[in-house]
Amino acid sequence: MLPHHLWLPLVAFGVAVATTWLAIRYAIKRQLVDMPGERRSHKVSTPRGGGIGIVVSVLLACFAVALLYPAAAVPAGVFAIGLMMVAGIGWWDDHRSLPALPRLLVHLLAAILLGLLVWMGSGSVIKALFCTLLAVSLINIWNFMDGINGLAVTQAILVAIGAAFLLPFPYALAGLVTAAACLGFLPFNFPRARVFMGDVGSGALGYVMAGLLSLGMSVTEVAIPVWLMLPAAFFIDAGFTLLTRIFNGERWMQPHTQHLYQRFVKREWSHSLVTGGYSLFTLCGITLAALFSRLSQGWEWAGGVIWVAATAVAWFFLRRQFFIKDES
What is the distance between the terminal CA atoms of the chain, rounded to a whole angstrom?
Answer: 55
237 is in an annotated binding site: no
- DSSP at 220: -
Q: Are 186 and 151 in contact (CB under 8 A)?
A: no
Alpha carbon separation from 218 to 119, 214, 230 (Å, rounded): 8, 6, 16
Which residues, listed in sequence order, are joined to residue 33 by a DSSP beta bridge? 47
143 is in an annotated binding site: yes
| Beta carbons within 10 angstroms of residue 280's beta carbon | 11
SS3 state at 154:
helix
Q: Name the nearest CA neighbour of 277 among 172, 131, 151, 158.
A: 151
Q: Are 61 and 9 in contact (CB under 8 A)?
A: no
Query: In whole angstroms, how large is the CA radius of gyration of the chain?
Result: 19
Q: Cα(184)–Cα(178) distance, rounded to whole angstroms?
A: 10
Residues marked as binding?
143, 199
Residues marked as binding for Mg(2+)?
143, 199
